Chain A
Amino acid sequence: MTELIRLEKIQRYYGSQLAFEADDMTLPHGVIGLLGPNGAGKSTLMKMLMGLLAPSSGNARMMGLDAIKESRQIRSKVGYMPETDSFVAGLSILQFVSLAGELHGQKPVDARRRAHEVLWLLGVQEERYRLIEEQSTGIRQRAKLAQALINNPDLVILDEPTNGLDPTGRSAMLELISRLHKEQGKSILFSSHLLTDVERVCDLIVILDKGKVLAHGTVAELVSTRSNSYRIQVSGCLETLTERLESQGIHVATLPSRTGMTVNDLIVTLPEKSDTKRLLEAFSDRGGLAPDCLLSALWPHEENLQTVFERIVTGNVERTSHD
């Protein structure tokens, strides 16, 4: 895969507040998910990539173009679907999408033809002749996507594309996004708070928090970094066992107990270069453990994107507070 985004020791400050910082980093073409809580720096990064905001230091390149010096060329090659409704009130969907084409320099007649084509592709049929502000959220989202595709962009930036959609509409939108990549060859930069959406469509994920890139890689790569994590079920000795494991450098997270069950679910993370033998040893030494203390189950803990995200972002919060 060729290079889509290159960040070169980039920093952006608002006054003395650091809004975004990244060392040298390249991201290939594909579907890239940007994850991060509010204020993580997602918007700052996107603004800098499109040349709408100059970095305080360093440089950003998008599709080989300098984000500041060649901002207009970048915007002509990029389609942007905003999170919030940003329409020209009083226009029909067709007029709105055609206008987007004309703003890219297309002739009015070509822009109109292209608008029909894109709207048909996205399943907007007779609604295209109606006023955009009177349409349902699903149709408006499709109209926003259509205006982003009017110039046949190499990269489509999608900001919360499933916002406000019902489960069926959300699924259809994600299907559309997947197909845009698979069948139209578009690269996609996908920003969302819905981790399941990101997990479903993205090849690569970038996790941001407090203006820093905390992790990036495929979902498989991010999850595999926690191969030494296990889920266990114990009964009769939760507090004593937790203390013992923590004293041996094994991190313990207690899952909420289920009503009416005496068994406790724990997630234990072993130190690097140690295996389950170390965990079992903690049980084999019965000194100090109650007679009814029992390890009833142990299996590898498989993380999903939600848990990976929470772990990475929570870890960053803890590190920041310690600093």
Chain B
Amino acid sequence: MTEESLDFNQTDLLEEYPEAIVINRWTLSPAPELSRWSSMVWWPVARIGLKLVMKRALFKVFLGLGLMNFLFFSAMIYFLAGLSEQINGQPFGRGSLEFASQFIFSGTGESYRDFISGQNIVVMLLLAISGSVLVGNDFRFNSLSFYLSKPLDRWQYFLGKLVATSMLVSMLTLLPCLALFIEYGLFTDSFGYVIDSRRILFGILAYGLLVSVGMSVLLLGVASMLQKTISIVMVWGLMFVFLPIITVIIQDAAGGSEYWGLMNVWSLMLWCSNHFFGIESGRYTGEPWYPIAALSLWFGASIWAFWHKTEAVEIFS
């Protein structure tokens, strides 16, 4: 049968031969019903972003590195708890154990803060190489015009990317830290530890979220502006490696003025974490709204950069 012969009037033919079976490959079924969550169109954006990053071998390397740190602390909590049971009641051994715990994992706010801060190095490296996959490629390969030609607003696209990046970061910071908190409670002082350490739990959640969301916002801004991996890595390195060094040098030159530290994103986050965990901070003693304003400025600039770049995308070229 030639293709032209398909152009007959089917209705007439079916009236003539009602028992006929019509095979028509040019019939699409109606579009499926919309999901109950159809307004959450940012979720497919986030899911695909995560999927693309997780396919990368380098992601697995950095995830492995980050989890090694977690596994070390986890094993130490287990080891110290076991040792504590064994040497219970022996004054000499007890003292050594407490001394060792202070250096390894003491279960205080400082331990969790230091764990997340330590993970930040791996997070920084992971985000530097994921930035182009998560955001940069959308600009370079015109995916953004694909997304925005669908019933998806710019803020939903932003939210999708933010959720994807935040989930990546929280896999290395917030979630392992929560796991350590629960493990520490279970192996040391039963469930009472969790109840008594609500401030620590709040600190973990707040600092974990700040790192996850804050670093993601910064990445979205940098990656949307630069797009290519090499450029993102260079600027990321400038922000998180050279800028802290420069601020220390300037601080020393300026006679120890603590305000120069406000340029350093790490210091700002650490200052926030100290407040979350209720730790006395000795590094910055000035007005509390200065660090908040400085962080807001970083985040605001990143959101502006992202918005500015997405607005410039031509859907119809």
Q: What residues make up the interface of A, taking CB atoms closer than 8 Å to B?
A: 42-43, 46-47, 50, 52, 72-73, 75-76, 80, 82-91, 95, 99-108, 110-111, 113-114, 117-118, 121, 133, 147, 149-152, 159, 175, 179, 182-184
Contact = CB atoms under 8 A, between A and B. Distances in A.
A82 B31 contact: no
A82 B141 contact: no
Given A99-B44, A102-B44, A86 B143 contact: yes
B149 A80 contact: yes
B151 A103 contact: yes
A16 B227 CA distance: 33
**B contact patch SS:** loop
B38 interface: yes
Contacts of A118: 28
Contacts of B315: 47, 50, 52, 80, 82
A107 B137 CA distance: 26
Given A43-B316, A89-B141, A105-B151, A117 B29 contact: yes
Nearest to B317: A84
Interface string B150-161: 111100000000
B19 interface: no
29 contacts: A73-B151, A75-B150, A75-B151, A76-B151, A82-B142, A82-B317, A85-B142, A86-B142, A86-B144, A86-B145, A88-B48, A88-B146, A90-B52, A95-B48, A99-B44, A99-B48, A102-B41, A103-B41, A103-B45, A104-B38, A105-B34, A105-B38, A106-B31, A107-B35, A118-B28, A133-B141, A147-B146, A183-B27, A184-B28
Given A87-B143, A89-B137, A121-B26, A103 B150 contact: yes
Contacts of B192: none
A147 B7 CA distance: 26
Given A87-B143, A105-B34, A105-B39, A100 B150 contact: yes
Contacts of B45: 103
Interface in B15-40: 24-35, 38-39
A75 to B, nearest CB: 4
Given A75-B151, A105-B41, A121-B28, 11 more contacts: A83-B317, A88-B48, A88-B52, A88-B138, A102-B44, A103-B41, A110-B33, A114-B29, A179-B26, A183-B26, A184-B26
B260 interface: no
B55 interface: yes
A34 to B, nearest CB: 11
Contacts of B29: 114, 117
Contacts of A82: 142, 145-146, 149, 315-317
Nearest to A91: B48
B298 interface: no
B62 interface: no
B31 A151 contact: yes
Contacts of B26: 121, 179, 183-184
Nearest to B55: A90
Nearest to A179: B26
A103 B143 contact: no
B78 interface: no
B142 to A, nearest CB: 4
B147 interface: yes
A219 B133 CA distance: 47
Nearest to A176: B26
Closest 5 CB pairs of A and B: A105-B38, A152-B31, A110-B32, A86-B142, A102-B44
